[in-house]
Amino acid sequence: MSTTLPRLPVPDLRKTLDKYLTSLEPFLLEEASKKGLDDDALDASRRLRAQWADEFASGVGNLSLDRTSPNNWLNDNFWIKKAYMEWRAPLLINSNWWLAFQDDANIPVSEKDRQDGHFRTGFSRWQIKQAAGLLHRMLEFKIKLETQELYPDTTRTGLWLRESTSKMFNVARIPRPTYDTLSAVPPPTDPFTHDIVAMVHGWFYRVAVMESPSVSTDVGHLARYLEAVVSDAEQRMLDGEEPVLIGVLSADNRDTWSNNLQHFLSLSETNKMIHTTLSNSLMVLSLDDEIHKDPPSPTSPANQYYFDPHLHTIRSTTGNVGNRWFDKAFTLIVDPAARSGAMGEHSLCDALVPSIIAVYGIIQGIDESHFENDTPLPSRGQRWDRLDWVVDDFIKKECVKAKERADRIIKNSDDGVFWFSEYGTDWIKGVAKLSPDTFIQMALQLTWYRMQGQFTATYETALTRMFNKGRTETIRTLTRESRAFCLAMVDGRATAGSKRAALESAIKVHNRLTCEAATGKGIDRQHAPLFEDLLFGKSSCWKLCTSGLSAGPLFWGTGFGAMDEDCYGINYLVGPDMVKFGIESKFSSSLTSTSTFISTLAGVLRSMQNIFHLDVHPDNVASHL
């Protein structure tokens, strides 16, 4: 087998434009329905778009075809820059992904203990053990992948995963004016490539975690190093030293952060060294000193009282946002109750890659015998050291202002976990005989329509991982067929049979679009000039940004931020008998509500199941939530 993946193909221009015109159909139909347009007016609108497409094909579109880029025409030329690096919004919630890990059953901390806040403040020995265990396993995954003990180059998965995983370690995003860059890949001889940066009370520490490029430090010694770091930070607090929360600067607007970083680096060579250490280090480890706890809500399910605070801890809270470095590709997070998760910068790779690394880290659990180590804690300079920034009054004031802005972003995030436990892939595939992912996509379409009374463009992620340096393409969920399905489901005269037929038709089309997107035949990455068409803009204004990850048995929940104020960001995990949703919207928008979306989605999922069991329409058996 070849040791390289094929290059991402440049889609056929004429076929792509034809697909684009087809994707506009539901928007044309909605426009005609709302404005009362007759068939002649609708046809005229179609002809106008077709004319624009023809002009594009013979003009700038033909000139823009690029088959000469070295690796991947999309990444090499413009996609990462346009989609990520030019975006000036803070990475906090807006861009970074987050994963909340399942609790380790070997840790003797009951769910009630966590909820009652028995470990509410300070650090715990189980927190340190959990951090050391997860860190050791994740480094083991990296080593085994590099030595091809896992996912060898004889498989497509191995080729794609090795290249993608290389972007998760020893790299960071660097703020620059106008558009950001990525840090250069450090050589193996760089002393920082074998270290992590640990953040404790907002202070930074360098910790050596590798004995050689192919041998990680054993988990018992890792725990002792982390204990030494925590002990040092605790002593600093007792001595009255107050940390300057430098990390919160990375949560700010990218231009503001760029200006502050340049000032920061000009203060001292020490600051340049620390920033290089952060960029070149393997990853960041955030050890939080408090357990986040949301106030109970009488309308929330009991499990959300536990899951949501855990998810919010990983996403970031007003209490821990200063203990993060948002530019880093991968940050492992552990709180005093040993609740854990990961958060990372999105431009480097998509959340599937860190989720694979995380699963390897989580699945084994803690073995207490590894921690039977009573050796003295290593002194400062022996395997760990402080990374103390040089600051001035300007930077101190900027940290205060950045913290205020970050707090506003966090408080505006309406973020929740929803576990739908009435069925999952077993029923969808076994009884309904349909694709689980596409079934969930139709449920999200119907949920939006029931809430808003209108349709919206919906983005679903497709991975182009069969190609060299493959990333993503858009699957446009709103189609003529998915629109017809939603209308059938709210039509009191429609039979269960007609609703099933509409669902099956919508799913068939969506499956085809999924296959085309995954094989490099999508329509949204290469035709920027068409944004001049108002309908193209509307058809790519993603009020619903969605992404399925995996069955997710080892995750409590996952998430990413909504694209804008009146949008939703939705990640979901479809398991055999359960679907887990992570849903984010904004409190500031009167048009969105995560709790309302959850309750409506629950009703939709029940109503969709009912059309396979009953010969009546679902509104007779499931309330219009």
Residues known to be catalytic: 346
Question: Coil, strand or helix: which one is 342?
Answer: strand
Those residues whose C-beta lies under 8 Å from the C-beta of residue 50, and which sit 6 or more positions away, are: 21
Please give the Cα distance from 427 to 422 (Å, whole number): 9
Structure tokens of 280?
A: 């070149």
Under a CB-based contact definition with an 8 Å cutoff, are residues 171 and 185 in contact? yes
> If we measure between CA atoms, which residue out of 567, 288, 549 comes closest to residue 558?
549
Please give the Cα distance from 423 to 150 (Å, whole number): 33
> If we measure between CA atoms, which residue out of 212, 184, 200 comes closest to residue 236?
200
Under a CB-based contact definition with an 8 Å cutoff, are residues 8 and 74 in contact? yes
| Amino acid letter, residue 623 | S
Residue 546 β-bridge partners:
460, 570
Q: Is 34 exposed, middle or buried (0-12, 13-18, 19+ CB in 10 A)?
A: exposed
Under a CB-based contact definition with an 8 Å cutoff, are residues 114 and 126 in contact? no
Those residues whose C-beta lies under 8 Å from the C-beta of residue 159, and which sit 6 or more positions away, are: 3, 4, 5, 153
Q: Which helix (H) or strand (E) holds 174?
A: strand 173-174
Under a CB-based contact definition with an 8 Å cutoff, are residues 333 and 340 in contact? yes
Structure tokens of 401?
A: 């202002």
Give φ, ψ of 169 to 5 degrees.
Answer: -120, 150
Residue 203 β-bridge partners:
200
Looking at residue 211, the DSSP 8-state letter turns out to be: E
Q: Is 58 exposed, middle or buried (0-12, 13-18, 19+ CB in 10 A)?
A: exposed
